[in-house]
Amino acid sequence: MRIATWNVNSIRSRIDRVEAFLERHDIDVLALQETKAREDQLPLMGLQARGYDVAAVGYSQWNGVAIVSRVGLEDVTVGFPDMPEFDGSAEARAIGALVGTNGEGGGIRIWSLYVPNGRKVDDPHYHYKLDWLARLRTVAATWADQPVALVGDWNIAPTDVDVYDIAAFAKDTHVTPPERAAFQAILDAGYTDVARQYTSEPGTYTYWDYYRQRFERNRGMRIDFVLGSPSLAERVTSAFVDREERAGQGASDHAPVVVELAD
C-alpha cells in the first residue's frame, strides 16, 4: 500500500495536480492539508471516477483536511479527543479514518493533521500550537499499540538539518525548543519518522516559501512528516519526497511525502 501526505494549499486551485499525482505515483491513500474548502465545495468528480472515496472537513476558506482512499475508508473521525480550539472557534485540522480494509477488516488508522502554524513566539497562536500538540501527544500515546500513521504538515522543523540555514530562523517559530520538544514527545510516545532513513540526503526539504525564489535556491524546510506506530513503521519499505511536484506553474508551496508499506 502506498500512502502520501501533501499540504495542497487549496484543493480547488490544484485538483488537476492532485489527480495527476495520484495516477503518476499509483497512490492508494492521500492525506491532504490546507484544502481551504468546505465539504460541499470539494471537486470530487475526477477523484470518484478514479475509484477514490473522500472524507473531509472544512469550515471556511482556511485550514481544512481530507483523506482520499481507494482501499477502503471507514470509521471516519473529525478531530481527536479534546482537540483545542483557537479563540473559541473549532478549526479543521485533524481527520482520521481506517484505510486498507476494502471491507475485509484489518487496515491502518491514518490521521491527516494540519498542525497550527504558531505565527510568532509572542502570539496566542503559538501557545495554541503547543496546547494542540500536547493534547495530540496524549491521545496518540493510547493509539501506539495499533497500526497508526500520523501524517501531515507539522509546521515544525525538528532538527537543524531540516532548515536551509538555522541562523535565518533564530527568532522564528517552527524551530523553537518548545515546538521541537513537542514533536519529540510524540516520537517518545512510540512513533517513528518513517521517511527519514530513505530521505536523509542533505538539503531534503518539503516546503519552500514562494518568496525570493526559495525553491529555485533550495532554501526550504522539512516540516511534513509521516509518523508511524511500531506495527506501522515495521511495514515501511521505502519513501521519497516528490520534489518535482513543487516545481512548475501553479504549484503548492509544499511537496508530497510518499511512503510504501508492505502488505
95-132 residue pLDDT tens: 999 999 866 667 999 999 999 999 999 999 999 999 99
Q: How far apart are CA 242 and CA 257, in angstroms?
A: 6
Query: What are the φ/ψ torsions at residue 143 (nearest 5 degrees)?
Result: -100, -10
Confidence of residue 171 (pLDDT cuts 50, 70, 90): confident
Helical H runs in the chain? 11-25, 45-49, 124-143, 177-188, 230-233
Question: How much is the pLDDT for 38?
Answer: 94
Query: What are the φ/ψ torsions at residue 218 (nearest 5 degrees)?
Result: 55, 45
Coil, helix or strand at residue 153: strand
How large is the angle between the packed helices 177-188 and 124-143, nearest 10 degrees?
Answer: 10
CATH architecture, domain defined by 2-261: 4-Layer Sandwich (3.60)
Confidence of residue 170 (pLDDT cuts 50, 70, 90): confident
Q: For residue 23, how many other CB atoms are within 10 A of its CB? A: 10
Q: Give the position of cell 478514479.
A: 50
Q: Please answer whether residues 58 and 90 qualify as being in contact, where contact means their C-beta atoms are separated by less than 8 angstroms.
A: no
List % helix, strand, coil for the chain (3-state, nearest 5): 30, 25, 45
Q: In what order do the strands lie in the sheet with 224-228?
A: 74-78, 94-99, 108-114, 148-153, 224-228, 192-193
Question: How much is the pLDDT for 248?
Answer: 82
Residue 180 has pLDDT above 70, yes or no: yes
Coil, helix or strand at residue 184: helix
Q: Is the dihedral of CA 50, 35, 173, 177 positive or negative?
A: negative
Domain boundaries, the chain: 2-261
Q: Considering only CA atoms, which of 130, 133, 99 is closest in space to residue 113?
A: 133
Q: pTM here?
A: 0.97
129-141 tens-digit pLDDT: 999 999 999 999 9
Q: How far apart are CA 135 and CA 153, in angstroms?
A: 17
Of all residues in the chain, what percent carry a pLDDT higher than 90? 93
55-75 tens-digit pLDDT: 999 998 889 999 999 999 999
Supply 249's cell numbers.
506553474
Compute the average pLDDT of residues 201-210. Answer: 96
Give the bridge partners for 219, in sequence order: none
